[in-house]
Structure 1
């Protein structure tokens, strides 16, 4: 019988570590409260599609109201223009789509990418639960995925975190990569989520392909998306460390990192991936909050949110 894998800080996570993330929710304003509005809210609901809002009431049309909200049935019945009023939905499904694959089982910074994904998923989950939203998600690895139906309960979130820990602790370098695990996870999300859900996507920066980009575009038609691609400094730059040898399942690769051309080409590939995510987020009109193992997770989220806050007029 195989002995259980002990959580190693920065390399593997424990359930206790993810539960403790609830104490850090107050440090970063991911969701609006009556007293404070998150800068993400304006991005989520910038398009009036009835997504993430509930119908409230109808009142007489006033100057300045959006003509797209006119209730034509009431207007025709009363012979006076009326407009629909909406309020932000206070309880909606938040679905955390989090990757735990072999390609994330790596890190040259503070933590492995797999740990960074787990920590961010836990923080968002606790924040959503505190916001009175229904929380669920899907943990996907190389050859498996585990789905937790969104519910407004601590038990549901703990189910998600427990599954996340199990998959994380089972990661190892000899795992056989699965075929399009990210694409399969996105297709499943499209099948089970109702319009107006908020989907948090935590995946490797290298997971974006033509196929997964199409899946994200389809998902964005009926749900709100928040994209958090994960990277490591070595995903963007090779150190000048001489001849490096890589071995994987019998295959060997040698790279001469003293070659300036090689390092420049490698860096260009990394920058192209980063730009690809930026262009996709702009096309879909969704927030992009990339995370790196080089920095502390909560501090990175704060930097992103502060950058998106509207600047005061001088």
Structure 2
């Protein structure tokens, strides 16, 4: 049973379905007429079964001798070579966090809502591109996996799981959260075939030694897009005097007018952002941080098409 619609706080299935109308506002996947600066990688690497036989033509200087079609060559008495094209469809797998650390936001929406909206946008874009779409939704205690298929039903199944996980946030049972991000990444490595495109939507604070190792292993055989989520309060404390934070039975009181405390907090945030940047550079993958401060499509468009956005 779905809870009443609470825009910015919880998502509904209808809201995620409506994201399909916004796919055309930002170029996520390349088309014959328009090439996306992000998903140039989407069809750039020939891996494993990622190529299909196309046709045979007469051998030309510079052709790879390993692609010579010896049967046609023997029949025609002239060398012929096989031509291949990249597989037209590809598994797109969206890993989406819906844990308690995302149930927070001080601006337009909660981070959990932003993650759900981004997952839906990439899902509809992949389906429009005739790719197979699936994913994995993970929370504090569990994960739910949808096998990639090229069907609207597969995407709706993923969105349904995402909505259920999102609406359960805020109903903590008091148990300590597990390291579900690393477990989700390990599961993705187990089920995905080489050449898949993996979209990672997680809290900026989710990156640690274990998850970084899993992302590095995942990047060996798949293409990654990293979208860590943040809120302005993750990066800087306001000067608001004494603030009390409560989580379960634990309480913490901070004096936000303490300059040393505020500087230390800001330095920790900067260290997190720098770590994501170093990882993306090391793996050679796109990094698109998302903030609750800005509307989703606008910030994606600004990051992917900065010159066009300025114009």
Same fold (TM over 0.5): yes
Report the equivalent of 1:222. Answer: 221
Take 2:67 and 2:117, find their aligned partners in 1: how far apart are those partners? 49
Q: Is the 8 A contact 1:44 1:225 kept in 2?
A: no
Aligned counterparts of 1:83 and 1:285: Cα–Cα separation in 2: 33
1:116 aligned partner: 114
Question: Deviations along 1:274-311, whole A, 9 cap, x unmatched?
Answer: 111111011111111110000000001101111499xx
Report if aligned partners of 1:51, 1:222 keep a CA contact under 8 Å in 2. Answer: no
1:249 and 2:248 are equivalent in the alignment:
yes
1:142-165 Cα shifts (integer Å, max 9, x gaps): 111111111111111000001100
Which residue pairs with 1:40 in the alignment? 38
> The residue matched to 2:253 in structure 1 has which SS?
strand
The two structures have a TM-score, normalised by structure 2, of 0.89
For this pair of structures, how many residues does the alignment match?
Answer: 302
1:171: which partner in 2? 169
Structure-1 separation of matches of 2:84 and 2:230: 39
Identify unmatched segments of 5+ residues in structure 2. Answer: none
3-state SS of the aligned residue for 2:40?
A: helix
Deviation of 1:246 after TM superposition, in Å, equals 1.3
Q: Which residue of 2 aligns with 1:198?
A: 197
**What RMSD in Å do the two structures reach over aligned CA positions?**
2.5
Q: Deviations over 1:170-209 (max 9, x none)?
A: 1116353421100010010011111111111100010001
Equivalent residue, structure 1, for 2:259: 260
Equivalent residue in structure 2 for 1:74, among 68, 77, 84: 68
| Corresponding residue SS for 2:195 | coil
1 CA distance for matches of 2:46 and 2:250?
A: 52
Question: Is the partner of 2:112 in helix, strand or coil?
Answer: helix
Corresponding residue number in structure 2 for 1:294:
293
Report the alpha carbon displacement of residue 6 of structure 1 after superposing the two structures with TM.
1.7
Greater shift in the superposed pair: 126-135 or 43-52: 43-52
1:6 and 1:123 mapped to 2: Cα distance?
Answer: 22
Aligned-partner SS, 2:155: helix
Taking the aligned partners of 1:226 and 1:121, their CA distance within structure 2 comes to 12
Structure 1 residue aligned with 2:239: 240
SS in 1 for 2:217: helix
Question: Per-residue deviation at 1:37?
Answer: 1.0
TM-score normalized by the length of structure 1: 0.88
Change (3 A) 1:184 1:4: same
CA deviations on 1:11-59 (whole Å, 9 max, x unpaired) are: 0000000000000001011011111111123345666656855454566
**CA–CA separation in structure 1 for the residues paired with 2:150 and 2:70:** 40
Counterparts of 1:52 and 1:306 in 2: how far apart (Å)? 28
Q: Do the aligned residues in 2 keep the contact of 1:39 with 1:308 (CA within 8 Å)?
A: no
Return structure 1 stretches of 4+ with deviation > 2 angstroms: 41-63, 70-78, 80-89, 173-178
